Structure formats: C-alpha cells, structure tokens
Amino acid sequence: MLALAGLQLVFALLGAALALPTSETKKGVLSFPVYRKRNQPLNLGKRDNVVALGNVSTLTYLIRLQIGTPPQPVEVVLDTGSFELWVDPTCATAATENQEEKCNASGRYVPSQSSTYVDKGVKQHIGYGKGGAEISYAVDSILVPGSNSQALRNVVFGVGLNTTELAWGVGGIGHGNGFNLHYNNLIDELHAQGITQSKAFSIALGGQYSEAGGAIVFGGVDTKKFSGKLHKFDNMPPQIEGSKEGPWRYWVQMKSVGVTTPNSVISTYEYSTMPALLDTGSTWSYLPQHIFDSLQDDFNATLSEDGSLEVPCSMVDEPGTVDFTFGELIIQVPYSEFISQLEPGYCALGVLPRKGSYDRAVLGDSFLRSAYVIFDQTNQHLYMASYHDCGTNEQTLSGEVGAALNLTGECHSGHHLFASIPMCWVIAPSAFVLWIFVLFL
C-alpha cells in the first residue's frame, strides 16, 4: 500500500512479527507471525483514483507489535508498499461498524503508560485514496519476540491523532533512511541494533483459506516455505509515470501474464512485459486494462457494476492457474487463491484494472499468497520462488545475501495450499462497502 504523503507508514511487517513467535529466535533472525482478518474494506489500496466496490468482504494481513515499557500490544497492516510505522487509528471514524469493532479489538498504544515514550514534537498528515491519518511522531521501544526483555530502543514511529476510514495502523517495511526517509525505520533499526545481519527479510503470507497463517522473517529465509531454487532479480529504481523520480519501492521486471485452464490450455497475453510492484498492502492486484480484459475473456467473467470480475464460485475448486513469469521463473497462482468469495454466492477474480498511460502492475495479496519473496535492501535485489508450506527451517541471511541462491526449498508441489471456500460462511448481502484504490504511478 503506497501512501500519498512522502512520509509513509512503515512498520506493518513489524507488527505481526512482534507477537507470539512461532519458533525460537535464532541469532540474526527475527520471525513474526502474519495474521489474517476477514471482512475488511480495502481502504488501504492504491493511491490516487478511487473505485467504489460495494458489498464486499476480503482479507487484510496484520502483524502484532509490543510497543513501550511495559509492552503494549497493537496490530498493524503488513505493508511492503510503504516505509513508515504508525499506530492508533480513530476507531469511531472507521468505514463500517464491522471495521470499528475490529479496530477496537486491535490494541492501543497509550504513550502516557510507557516510561520510555518520547514525543518528537513533529506532526504529519498521510493521505490515501480514501481516508487519511494525522500522526504525531514518537520514540519508544519495541519488544523483540523470543526474548524476555530485549527490545529495539529509540524506534521512531507515528501515533494517530485523527484518522478517517482506517481500521488499523500501518507497518511499512519499504526502503527507509537514505532512500525515502531521513531517519531509521524498522528495517534500518533491526540491522543497526544488531538484531539482523542484513537489511533483508522474507515473507510467506500463507493460503487464503488455510488453517496456518503466514510469517515474515527479518534477516532470514525459511527453506520450508518454498520449492525449488530462489530466482534473483534486480530491485528496479522508482517507476513513477514518465520519470525515474519518486520513492523507492519493490519493483521487479515482469515478463508475462497468462492463464493455464483446467483443461491445460495455456495462453500468454500480449504486451504483458512491464515493471511490477510487490505490495502486501494491496489485497488485490492491479493490471493494465488490456490484461484485465483478457482475464475477463478467459474466465468468461461478468463485469459487475462495482468494477469487479464476477465468476462462478465453483471455479475455486477447478485446477487452473493464473501464471506470472519473471525471467525463467513462473509463479502459478491457483484459482483457489486468485478467486475470492466476497459474499455468499458471489465470487470475483482478485484483479482490478490499473489506469494510466504507462504499463505498470501492482501485484498484491492475490498474487503474493502463491510466491515466497526475499526483499534484500542491502544489495537491492529481490528473490522469488513458488510458495509451499512443509514446516519451518529458518536460515540467517548475512550482508552477502547472494549466498541465499545456494539455498533450495525443501518443499515439493504437493505441499501447496489448495483450499476450497468454506461454504458455511454466511454474510448478509450489502453488509459491507469495499473501497479499492487504483494506483497511478
């Protein structure tokens, strides 16, 4: 999720990690669970143009942080598309009653209850396609999971003063000091304070309907979360339309997009080579109009009034894939991960058209659930493989992250999470209003 303001929301990934670690913390590796929350509007989507999608339920990925002394638990959205952390949204102004309830249950950071809190005396407004946040910058400690008392000291983050239509704070884990900021963000502090040996981290979101959640590993890679070898790609420079200026984000060159049907008919779309942004803060993916139209044709989907591509829910159980190619790597996203049930009997493809004269893609959670990605800020590289889950085996990534190429995933394709939509899920129609924001880069 890319914020409109220069100072964006960083510590999303930080949140989930700081809660209840699933494994013992290794030297140079810090692992946080990633939690799914359902029935949330996508008001943390793309930035400049607003498309209203009505009556929709979807997923948001969160991490839990323990901030202050004594530690106070809070949840934030895991976001590779922004680079600042802020907490404490105004729950009364959340977009729906459902969101307000989830906001109230997500935990609060109360500065006056922390003995290590320092007010920076600086305020900032961060805008989104819909909604925004006025924040005040603070300095405090964040507890390191897997330890009784070790903490990151003097971490800078924002505390919400007044927010609109936002249910959670945001944990941005994009490029920080020297790229987009003049101070250390979470990734910077983990490395500077010796918690990690590199400014690299890896993410596995987990399946859409799987029992197990996902995980983010700061300073490490989990070889039991992918199959085959890791493929190395350059982290491309800023890709603002018509310019190389703008904030640094996780851009990778995409070679093609296509579909493999349940009958094993393979199609690859023309003019689908373009830069693609890897963004955990976007629930759906955003592709140029001509690719969106091709997907509509191949799925025989119906364009709904709300802008989504409706398909029969029975397609979730079909063995087809949407295929994304990067160099020699093909990430095959199964129908069960690319199609989401938004209401009982109403399913849609996890894609929206991206407007603009330059072909760019934003690959959100509908893609990333099927990919395992290492984000290497130390060397400006991205590593990808197909996501599979066969346990946990975390390995440290040093400053020479290139050594990760020697690591091979321990899983095989049979471990992939193919899960059907739970048919017992019942939600009244028109219960939710979803706002999806299309990024203009």
Phi/psi for 269 (5° steps) reads -85, 140
Q: Which of 28-37, 165-174, 236-245, 424-433 has the lowest mean pLDDT?
A: 424-433
| From 44-58, 169-183, 201-215, 294-308, the region with the lowest mean pLDDT | 44-58
Residue in the block written with tokens 């603002």: 240
Q: What is the pTM of this model?
A: 0.85
Q: How confident is the model at residue 130 (pLDDT cuts 50, 70, 90)?
A: low
Q: How far apart are CA 289 and CA 291, in angstroms?
A: 5
Least confident among 38-52, 112-126, 289-303? 38-52
pLDDT at 52: 31
Note whether 41 and 96 are within 8 A (CB).
yes
- Residue 213 DSSP one-character state: -
- How are beta strands 346-349 and 309-311 bridged, if at all? antiparallel
Q: Where is pLDDT greater, at 402 or 45? A: 402
> Which residues participate in catalysis according to the annotation?
79, 279
Q: How far apart are CA 181 and CA 247, in angstroms?
A: 9
pLDDT for 187 equals 96
At residue 68, the pLDDT reads: 97
What is the reported pLDDT for 65? 95
Domains located in the chain, CATH noted: 12-204 (2.40.70.10), 221-438 (2.40.70.10)
Distance CA 300, CA 349 (A): 11
Report how many helices (DSSP H) and strands (DSSP E) the chain contains, helices first. 6, 31
Mean pLDDT to the nearest integer, 108-130: 91
Q: What confidence score (pLDDT) does residue 99 get?
A: 86
CA–CA separation, 174 and 118 (whole Å) = 24
pLDDT of 300 above 70: yes
Say if residues 429 and 343 touch (Cβ distance below 8 Å).
yes
- Reference 350, options 436, 264, 258; nearest CA is 436
Tens digit of each residue's pLDDT (9 = 90 or more) over 14-59: 333 333 333 345 678 999 999 988 754 443 333 333 323 333 346 8
User: What letter would DSSP give residue 26?
Assistant: P
Q: What is the average pLDDT across 124-151? A: 85
pLDDT band at 242 (very low <50, low <70, confident <90, very high): low
Distance in angstroms (rounded) separating the CA atoms of residues 142 and 139: 10
Closest CA to 57 of 329, 293, 344: 344
Q: Tokens 């510590």 map to which residue? A: 11
For CA atoms 371, 258, 253, 240, give the dihedral sign.
negative
Quick count: other Cβ atoms within 10 Å of Cβ 359? 17
